[in-house]
Amino acid sequence: MKMKKVRIVALREDRKRLLEHLQDSALIQIRKPDKETKGFSRVNVSSQMQVFERNVTLTEQALKILDNYAREKKGLLSSFAGRKEIDPDEIGVIASKAGEIIELSKKIVDRNKTIADNSAEKVRIRTALDQLSLWQNLDIPLNTSDTRSTAVFIGTLPAVYDEKSLSEALAAENPKLEFELEIQHSENNMTCFVLFAPKSQKTAAEDCLRALGFARPMSPTHLIPTEKVKRLNKRLEELDDSTYKAENDIAACAERREEIKFTQDYFRVRADKYNVINELEHTRHVFVITGYIPAEDCDKLTKLCNRVATCYVEYEDAGDDAPVKLKNNRFARPAQGILTMYAAPSHADIDPTPLLAFFFYFFFGMMFSDAGYGLLMVVAIGIVLKVFKPDEKMRNNLKLFQYCGVSTFFWGLIFGSIFGDAPVALYNLFTGSKLTMAQLLPWPTLDPQKDALLLMIISIAFGLVHILVGMGCKFYVCFKEKRYAEAFFDTGLWMLMLIGFGVLAAGMAFGQTLVYIGAGIAIACAVGLVLTQGRGKKGFGKVIGGLASLYDITSYVSDLLSYSRLLALGLTTGVMAQVFNMLATMFGTSVVGIIFLVVIMLVGHAINIGLNALGSYVHTMRLQYVEMFSKFYEGGGKEFEPFSLQSKYIKIQEDK
pLDDT, tens digit (0-9, with 9 covering 90-100), for 317-327: 888 888 999 99
pLDDT over 50 at 500, yes or no:
yes
Residue 505: the pLDDT is 86
pLDDT over 90 at 576, yes or no:
yes
Instruction: Calculate the alpha carbon distances from 362 to 11, 31, 398, 410 in Å.
Output: 54, 40, 16, 10
Residue 606: the pLDDT is 95
Which residue blocks in 309-344 are alpha helix, DSSP H?
A: 336-342
Does residue 345 or residue 76 have the better pLDDT?
345
Provide, rounded to the nearest whole percent, the portion of the chain with pLDDT above 90.
64
pLDDT over 70 at 541, yes or no:
no
- HSE of 437, CA atoms in CB hemisphere, 13 A: 24
Q: pTM of the full predicted structure?
A: 0.82
Instruction: Calculate the alpha carbon distances from 287 to 15, 16, 207, 336, 466 in Å.
Output: 8, 11, 83, 36, 52
Residue 321: the pLDDT is 83
pLDDT over 80 at 82, yes or no:
no
Residue 656: the pLDDT is 40
Residue 119: the pLDDT is 95
Residue type at 46 in one-letter notation? S
pLDDT over 70 at 542, yes or no:
no
Domain 144-216 sits in CATH 3.30.70.2750: yes
Least confident span in 230-234, 241-245, 535-539? 535-539
pLDDT over 90 at 600, yes or no:
yes
Q: What is the arithmetic mean of pLDDT over 584-603?
A: 91
Q: What is the arithmetic mean of pLDDT over 139-167?
A: 93
User: Could you give the CA distance from residue 349 to residue 331 in angstroms, rounded to a whole number?
Assistant: 21
User: Could you give the CA distance from residue 219 to residue 359 in angstroms, rounded to a whole number?
Assistant: 75
Residues carrying CATH 3.30.70.2750, the chain: 144-216
User: Could you give the CA distance from residue 165 to residue 153 in angstroms, rounded to a whole number?
Assistant: 18
pLDDT over 60 at 20, yes or no:
yes
Residue 36: the pLDDT is 74
Least confident span in 85-94, 141-150, 313-322? 85-94
Note whether 347 and 412 are within 8 A (CB): no
Provide, rounded to the nearest whole percent, the portion of the chain with pLDDT above 70.
97
Residue 536: the pLDDT is 67
Q: What is the arithmetic mean of pLDDT over 141-156?
A: 93
* Average confidence score pLDDT of the chain: 90
Exposed/middle/buried for residue 275 (C-beta within 10 Å: 0-12, 13-18, 19+): middle
Strand partners, 183: 193
Note whether 84 and 398 are within 8 A (CB): no
Note whether 340 and 325 are within 8 A (CB): no
To 10 degrees, what angle do helices 392-415 and 371-388 make?
A: 160
Handedness of CA 510, 514, 515, 518 (dihedral sign): negative
Strand partners, 290: 7
pLDDT single digits (tens) 421-474: 999 999 999 888 888 888 888 889 998 888 899 999 999 999 999 999 999 999
pLDDT single digits (tens) 375-393: 999 999 999 999 888 888 8
User: Could you give the CA distance from residue 496 to residue 493 in angstroms, rounded to a whole number?
Assistant: 5
Residue 109: the pLDDT is 96
Q: What is the arithmetic mean of pLDDT over 350-362?
A: 95
Instruction: Calculate the alpha carbon distances from 222 to 140, 150, 196, 371 in Å.
Output: 9, 18, 18, 82
pLDDT over 50 at 55, yes or no:
yes
Angle at 332 (CA atoms; ends 328, 333), nearest 5 degrees: 60
User: Could you give the CA distance from residue 480 to residue 497 in angstroms, rounded to a whole number?
Assistant: 23
pLDDT over 60 at 596, yes or no:
yes
Instruction: Calculate the alpha carbon distances from 129 to 133, 136, 184 in Å.
Output: 6, 10, 16
Residue type at 59 in one-letter notation? T
Beta-carbon contacts of 66 under 8 Å, excluding residues fewer than 6 positions away, are 72, 108, 250, 253, 254, 257, 260
Strand partners, 153: 195
User: Could you give the CA distance from residue 339 to residue 321 in angstroms, rounded to a whole number?
Assistant: 20
Residue 571: the pLDDT is 92
pLDDT over 60 at 655, yes or no:
no
